[in-house]
A and B are shown apart, each in its own frame.
Chain A
Amino acid sequence: NAGVTQTPKFQVLKTGQSMTLQCAQDMNHEYMSWYRQDPGMGLRLIHYSVGAGITDQGEVPNGYNVSRSTTEDFPLRLLSAAPSQTSVYFCASSKTDRGRKIPILDYTFGSGTRLTVV
């Protein structure tokens, strides 16, 4: 099925460990982004990309790295996990929907990764 695929769905890390959250989309969307969701704070933007080879920081980028070597993939790397990074992570992709009177961004979210750092 077309969409945004996130892996893994669940992960437990020890403090100081590293890992990569994977995100892949097969819709040829130009924009991709990573959010974290914490109770009472909604979703906050970590990093985003407007195309292959182009990434930029969002609201809460510290402790995370990203790269975008292809249009399809946008992995999120935690280099040294900390308990403060315990959260639910969502990857999203979007493209401009030019079929509307005023073009809008059509967003698709992955199913999320629940990460616990102990």
Chain B
Amino acid sequence: AQKITQTQPGMFVQEKEAVTLDCTYDTSDQSYGLFWYKQPSSGEMIFLIYQGSYDEQNATEGRYSLNFQKARKSANLVISASQLGDSAMYFCAMREGPRGSNTGKLIFGQGTTLQVKP
């Protein structure tokens, strides 16, 4: 069965420093997609970044980058130059099933709470 594991319940980072949030996954599929979402205290789910299993380069979106190590089955999120507004819960998620059988289902990790200190 597919599974996402986030082993860091909580993290602290100093403002303007970089931070890495860990995510490991387990799947037997060759084709899959990995997502990171941010959930601020207001509760909404905000899409940050996506990595496809066949993407040749690590995904980047502004201050967010994804350190994708396929052999290790890890997809860590790197936030550079942390800002106070980055304080939130972060979820790693995986699209379930191979590309040809899209069902819209996502599997989520447990989440990591990030606190940015001024």
**Residues of chain A at the chain B interface (Cβ within 8 Å):** 30-33, 35, 40-45, 48-50, 56, 58, 88, 90, 92-94, 96, 101-105, 107, 109, 111-112, 114
Contact = CB atoms under 8 A, between A and B. Distances in A.
B104 A104 contact: no
Contact of B50 (A31, A33, A94, A104): A104
B101 to A, nearest CB: 10
A31 B91 CA distance: 21
B111 to A, nearest CB: 5
Contacts of A104: 33, 50, 52, 95
Interface string B1-39: 000101001000000000000000000000001010000
Interface residues of B, number: 27
Interface stretch (B41-49, B62-70, B71-79, B80-88): B41-49
B68 to A, nearest CB: 14
Contacts of A109: 44-45
Nearest to A33: B104
Contacts of A45: 105-107
A33 B95 CA distance: 13
A103 B99 contact: yes
B60 interface: no
Given A102-B55, A104-B52, A105-B95, A43 B105 contact: no
B44 A48 contact: no
